[in-house]
Amino acid sequence: MIAETGQFALILALLVALVQGTIPMIGAARGDRAWMDLARPAAFAQFALVALAFAALTTCYVTSDFSVLNVVQNSHTDKPMIYKISGVWGNHEGSMLLWVFILAIYGMAVAAAGGNLPPALRARALAVQALIAVGFILFILTTSNPFTRIDPAPFNGNGLNPLLQDPGLAFHPPFLYLGYVGFSMAFSFAIAALIEGRVDAAWARWVRPWTLVAWCSLTLGIGLGSWWAYYTLGWGGWWYWDPVENASFMPWLAGTALLHSSIVVEKRDTLKAWSILLAIVAFSLSLLGTFLVRSGVLTSVHSFASDPARGVFVLGLLVLVTGGSLTLFAFRANQLKGGGLFAPLSREGSLLLNNVLMSTAAGTVLLGTLYPLFADALNLGKVSVGPPFFNAVFLPLMVPMVVTMGIGPLLQWKRGDLAGALGRLKLAFIAALLVAVGTWLVAGGSSGPLWAAGGLAIAAWLFVGTLVELAARIRLGRGPLGDALERLGQLPRSAWGMTITHASLAMVIVGITGSTAWKSEHIQVMRPGETVNVAGYEVTLQGTEDNIRGPNYSALRATFIARKGGDLVAVMKPEKRMYTQPPRPTTDAAIHTNLLGDLYVVIGDPDGSGGFVTRLYYNPLVPWIFMGAVFMVIGGLVSLTDRRYRVGAPLRTARAAAAAARG
């Protein structure tokens, strides 16, 4: 009965979403307050029903109910409990139910926290959110039902892909979906504003916190996925421009641009149409990522489905949402003219430049991801677009973006003084120059360290420039120190969030540069007692143990002794695991870190004569990538606690609110 309860709850949620998506929208057009107010209880009801459906599927997994086909295909009694639970979303059907559940969470949150929203805007936004839910619930019920029964029920299940049986992958999809789906809220507000024909500072204030939540979640989700790939796949890398990695990175770029453009809308009443377009694009790219993962057009460890019918459904939904919203934007964009004029050399101009660069970067990634698919579909031959393309095209776009990030916050609104801003950045110039020269000299002056010196110099420029902006904000050095410290304590949380996030990006750049430029890699056959030198470490294979038993796997475990200068540094024990159900091998790398670099050891297959294939890496500064990502999320969360978002946006005038209610 639990599975049937879940399916019935999902059907009821579809009916509630249909009501929520139509009646409040009609009420907003007619100015009927009672019909508009129906959106809030409907959002609560939809959340409760979808939560019940999700809880029912989770219960089936926890209790190993093998009369449910989805549980049979993705679970096993021997799995640890955490992976029974994460198995709920470790498959196509369950992950789509998670998508709809998070969609309902956002709708419920807006209904609960949107008491100060104009009734018409709230009704329209919640109606759009419900119509998105209608599409995805229909998708689940017609092509991807997670509650389908199987009779007779087997004694046990097929198990979960061993690559997904990992703590990083247990938490990676929920955060990724919180980001993907979170952009639906910005999209819903954008469509509501287009229908209403009004975008103002209050709209930007309402949209920004929801975009921040989505951005923080997506940042953390991407970071967790990168970390998982780094320590689980055994190749010593953290990003490979995999098409499904790109599918999450593109909405992140668009969402980052949206965050910055909404600041301009709020502060200067301009870039309105641009912000609306970015909200549409960010969510459309999220839907595109869903299509890529679930259509079967891509082969990736991230892909869940290969059913063409599912792909066609999601593609149709993508075309409907994106095409419909862009058509509406084309008809309404002329009503969104900005009221604030600004010179190119101004804070608005710097934010617009970075928006253009990030949008171009997202377009570049989109082109590189989809071009092989188009070439194959048009019989133009198999084309492979890999890291060389993305690195060559994407990275040059990022250099002017980072340079602008250092200058822009020091420019004034409307018309800035570039010479004055650069004058205040003398310390950043000096820091960047010293880092570049020092790196070039220490690394030996070859062509490789030359670009690496540039990368570290850019990071130093951004980090010191961020501190210079903070000092300028509190007027450090222009009066008594006590006054500056008092102003420091009174800074709005959004200013602190910007400082933390920009400084954290500098950390990520340091990690990317160091791990790419100076990575050491050694692949060889080693026998017990043999030693390999890696970046100043002497790594000795001490021995191996076979048939180490885990909860649902057996493992070959090797013991490596790492020394430096004769002193013991670490005892490292990588494993090569063979899971029982399904029977697949995985790699469990051993990593020793001192936060400045990682010594990374992988044990491979035996060579048949007493030796083992081993891979030894030294990845300098790679921990800075993951630490920087975490601090970026912290910066976003600090911004989210800004008092302006707690008290809500200023209410529109009575005349404007009445006009909005009339639609």
The span from the CA of 206 to the CA of 186, in Å, is: 9
DSSP 513-528: HHHHHS-EEEEEEE-T
The span from the CA of 117 to the CA of 539, in Å, is: 62
- Under DSSP, is residue 232 helix (H, G, I), strand (E, B) or coil? helix
Least confident of 93-97, 259-263, 475-479, 630-634: 475-479
Look at residues 144, 165, 186 and tell me which one is the last residue of a structural domain: 165
Q: What is the pLDDT of residues 378-399, one digit of tens each?
A: 777 777 788 888 988 888 899 9
The span from the CA of 49 to the CA of 227, in Å, is: 34
Is the Cβ–Cβ distance between 358 and 253 less than 8 Å?
yes
Is the Cβ–Cβ distance between 89 and 95 less than 8 Å?
yes
DSSP 7-67: HHHHHHHHHHHHHHHHHHHHHHHHT-HHHHHTHHHHHHHHHHHHHHHHHHHHHHHHTT-TT
- Predicted pLDDT at 471: 94
The span from the CA of 26 to the CA of 663, in Å, is: 10
Tell me how far the alpha carbon of residue 155 is from its chain's centroid: 39
* Residues linked to residue 612 through DSSP beta bridges, in sequence order: 526, 606
| In a domain? residue 286 | no
Least confident of 56-60, 243-247, 406-410, 572-576: 243-247
Nearest to 509 by CA among 622, 381, 586: 622
Structurally, the chain folds into a number of domains equal to: 2
| In a domain? residue 606 | yes
| In a domain? residue 117 | yes
pLDDT at 301 over 80: no
| Range 31-58 average pLDDT | 96
Tell me how far the alpha carbon of residue 274 is from its chain's centroid: 22
| In a domain? residue 200 | no
Least confident of 59-73, 104-118, 302-316, 457-471: 302-316
Look at residues 121, 147, 165 and tell me which one is the last residue of a structural domain: 165
| In a domain? residue 393 | no
Least confident of 284-288, 413-417, 594-598: 413-417
| In a domain? residue 39 | yes
Would you report the helix, strand and coil content of the chain in percent, each value rounded to 5?
A: 65, 10, 25
Residue-wise burial string across 504-520, b where 16 or more C-beta atoms lie within 10 A, e elsewhere: bbbbbbbbbbbbbbbbb
Looking at beta carbons, which pairs linking 318-324 to residues 24 or more positions away fall under 8 Å? 318/284, 318/287, 318/288, 318/290, 318/291, 320/135, 321/132, 321/135, 321/283, 321/284, 321/287, 322/280, 322/284, 322/287
- Under DSSP, is residue 661 helix (H, G, I), strand (E, B) or coil? helix
Phi, psi values for residue 145, rounded to 5°:
-70, 115
pLDDT at 352 over 50: yes
| In a domain? residue 336 | no
The span from the CA of 31 to the CA of 218, in Å, is: 37
Look at residues 165, 200, 219 and tell me which one is the last residue of a structural domain: 165
CATH number at residue 151: 1.20.120
| In a domain? residue 502 | no
The span from the CA of 645 to the CA of 642, in Å, is: 6
Residue 656's pLDDT band (cuts 50, 70, 90): very low
pLDDT at 658 over 60: no
pLDDT at 193 over 70: yes
| Range 397-417 average pLDDT | 92
Least confident of 125-139, 323-337, 499-513: 323-337
pLDDT at 516 over 60: yes
Q: What is the pLDDT of residues 527-554, one digit of tens each?
A: 999 999 999 999 999 999 998 988 888 9
Is the Cβ–Cβ distance between 71 and 98 less than 8 Å?
no
> Across the chain, what does the average pLDDT equal?
89
Q: What is the pLDDT of residues 425-462, one digit of tens each?
A: 999 999 999 999 999 888 776 556 788 999 999 999 99
Report how far apart the first and last C-alpha atoms of the chain are (Å, whole number).
Answer: 45
Give the chain's count of helices (H) and strands (E): 22, 10
The span from the CA of 650 to the CA of 648, in Å, is: 7
Domain span holding position 45:
1-165
**The overall pTM is greater than 0.75:** yes
- Predicted pLDDT at 305: 45
pLDDT at 583 over 60: yes
The span from the CA of 286 to the CA of 347, in Å, is: 29
Cα-Cα-Cα-Cα dihedral of 530, 532, 533, 534, to 10°? Answer: -140
Q: What is the pLDDT of residues 464-515, one digit of tens each?
A: 999 999 999 998 888 888 888 999 988 999 999 999 999 999 999 999 999 9
Is the Cβ–Cβ distance between 158 and 217 less than 8 Å?
no
pLDDT at 300 over 70: no
